Structures are given as C-alpha cells and as structure tokens.
Amino acid sequence: MFIFSSVIFKKNKDYNVAITTKLNNKQRSTSTNLDIRYGAKAKDENKRIYLTSMVRHELGWKASDLDINGEIQHLASVRIASI
C-alpha cells in the first residue's frame, strides 16, 4: 500500500510538507517506510525525516520468532538503528 499527501503554501513556503508512506505486509514480514519532507525546497536533504522499520515474524505452536529492526534519519547525519 502506498500513500502520498502534501500541504503546499504559496505565501509561506517554509511550511510546505510532503508525506510518503509505504506499507508492505506479507505472511512472514511486515515493513513500513515514512518519508517526510518539509520546507521551501522539496529536494533539500537537510529538511527530511525518513523512518523505516521491518518486522519478521514466524509464529507457531512450538516456536515463535520475532525480529524488529528500525532506522531513523534526519539532517542526513543522525542514525538510530536496531531495536
């Protein structure tokens, strides 16, 4: 599933926001991506927040396994990974 939305201001371009969301759900994994861009220039990498996560799951009567990984990027230099 893919969702895109944006809010654009003609007078105050610094308030512009574009949000892109992607959700992928399969039998053994679920992944999500969220890309938020804000400011007057949509391609400016310094004004971007990118979140991604992946959950791998295998559930059963005898054994269950769950792995969660995540990543956050902002200002192209900060990364927080692995949960």
pLDDT of 70 > 80? The answer is no
pLDDT recorded at residue 75 = 63
What's the mean pLDDT in 44-50?
82
CA distance 83 to 74: 18
Alpha carbon distance 54, 23 (integer Å): 10
Read off the pTM. Answer: 0.67
Strands 48-58 and 65-74: antiparallel
Query: What's the rounded mean pLDDT across residues 73-83?
Result: 53
